[in-house]
Amino acid sequence: MSQSMIDLVTHVVTRARSVGLDQQDQRDAAVAALMAAMPHETPTIARFMVDLVLPTLAEA
C-alpha cells in the first residue's frame, strides 16, 4: 500500500477520533475516504487496506 493511502487512513481515523466517533464509525469513515480516493477499487479491498492500518493506529 502506498504511503499516501496510509496517510489518508491515518488522517481520517485521527479526525474521526477527535470528534468522538466510535471505532466502527472511524473504520467506516476511513473506508469511505479510500473509496473516494480510489473509485476503481472494490469496497472489500478498501476495508482490507483499512484493516491493515488500524492495528498500528491502535498502538499509537
pLDDT tier for residue 59 given thresholds of 50, 70 and 90: low
CB 9 within 8 A of CB 53: yes
Going 28 to 34 to 39 to 40, the CA torsion angle's sign is negative
Distance CA 43, CA 14 (A): 21
pLDDT at 60 exceeding the cut of 60: no
Q: Which ranges constitute the DSSP H helices of the chain?
A: 3-18, 23-37, 43-59
| Whole-number average pLDDT of the chain | 91
Which pLDDT value is given to residue 6? 92
Best CA proximity match to 52, nearest among 14, 4, 9: 9
Helix pair angle (3-18, 43-59), 10° resolution: 70
